[in-house]
Amino acid sequence: MGNTISVCMIAKNEEKNIKNSLECARKFADEIIVVDTGSEDATPEIARSMGAKVYFFPWRDDFSAARNESLKYATCDWILWLDADDIIDDLNIERIKELKKVLPQEKNEAYLFLIESKIVDGGEDPWYWYQIRMFPNHKDIKFEGKIHEQVVFSLLRLGIKEKVANIKIVHTGYSDKEKIAEKIQRNLRLLEEEEKRENSFWSKRYLAFTYAKLGRIDDAIKKVDEALEIVPKNSPIWVYDLHMIAYGIKRIKGNWDEVMGHLEEAEKIRPDEGAVNIAKAEVFFD
């Protein structure tokens, strides 16, 4: 009936996390695909014990290559991708099951989920963002980008609509300071390589975010402004996203007129989004 879901995951040395993630996936998935990129621990064995089909793919500094390898083995009508350290609570599992019942037979939609990234060791509030996590199983939908890989470009080419789903995933991959530092330096290297090769709004978006985390605020502002110049205007979700990132970065410098300008542009796109009003309140308070 077009309502089956393949969960696709890539993993490496995730024996501490993958069981919990797959326990969530088993409650709604019709099939689970795990591509292992070189584990030296029990990750593949745990995945098999949880009912996943496990395949192997050598790591080559390219997240999209590994993700696309997982898509090759998916046989269901829809794909929902997870990281090995993602968790979905019972409420949101039920919401996925409800969405599963009403997925369009035309397979002309993709779904943005709210991602909450836990910062356990650092006293910071969680980060939140929207990310396309579910889309039709279509041969021309591929991940792009060596790092912070996305299918958004495939969706734009195919004319598949993006819809925000009322579903949240908790990402626990940034759970201690040492891991955060390692990931940021790895991400920076791959993003700078990606920008030289592609010069896409996507690489500039994440470079802005990474520079901001490193305290390189002027570099971050430059990159987010460059991203806003080239982001496809027929993808309002990403225009909104970039204005919200620009607000957050420029707020650090106290560029209040520019900050409010970005929030007003974001509000034009999503007038019902409470986050914009909260952001305005914070600016007025500052």
CATH number for the domain spanning 166: value is: 3.90.550.10
pLDDT digit string (tens) for 204-243? Answer: 998 998 898 888 999 999 999 999 999 988 788 889 999 9
pLDDT at 265: 96
pLDDT for 284 beyond 50: yes
Q: Which of 130, 152, 171 is the last residue of a domain?
A: 171
- What is the tally of structural domains in the chain? 2
60 & 30 share domain: yes
pLDDT at 194: 85
31 & 111 share domain: yes
Determine contact, residues 120/173, Cβ cutoff 8 Å.
Answer: no
Enclosing domain of residue 13: 5-171
The overall average pLDDT reported for the chain is: 91
Tell the burial category of 151 from Cβ atoms under 10 Å away from its Cβ (0-12, 13-18, 19+).
buried
87 & 167 share domain: yes
60 & 191 share domain: no
- Compute the 3-state secondary structure of the chain and give helix, strand, coil in percent, each to the nearest 5: 50, 20, 30
H runs (alpha helix) in 145-273: 152-158, 177-198, 201-213, 217-230, 236-253, 256-269
90 & 229 share domain: no
163 & 252 share domain: no
210 & 99 share domain: no
- How far, in Å, CA of 57 to CA of 37, rounded? 5
132 & 242 share domain: no
What percentage of the chain exceeds 70 in pLDDT? 94
pLDDT digit string (tens) for 170-187? Answer: 998 765 566 677 778 888
pLDDT for 248 beyond 70: yes
Determine contact, residues 71/3, Cβ cutoff 8 Å.
Answer: no
**CATH number, residue 205:** 1.25.40.10
pLDDT at 120: 46
Determine contact, residues 43/37, Cβ cutoff 8 Å.
Answer: no
Q: Which of 148, 171, 194 is the last residue of a domain?
A: 171
Residues 254-263: what's their mean pLDDT? 94
101 & 224 share domain: no
- How far, in Å, CA of 76 to CA of 71, rounded? 10
pLDDT for 121 beyond 50: no
190 & 275 share domain: yes
pLDDT digit string (tens) for 48-77? Answer: 999 999 999 999 989 999 999 999 999 999
Residues 6+ apart with CB under 8 A from 229: none
Determine contact, residues 34/11, Cβ cutoff 8 Å.
Answer: yes
Q: Which of 147, 171, 195 is the last residue of a domain?
A: 171
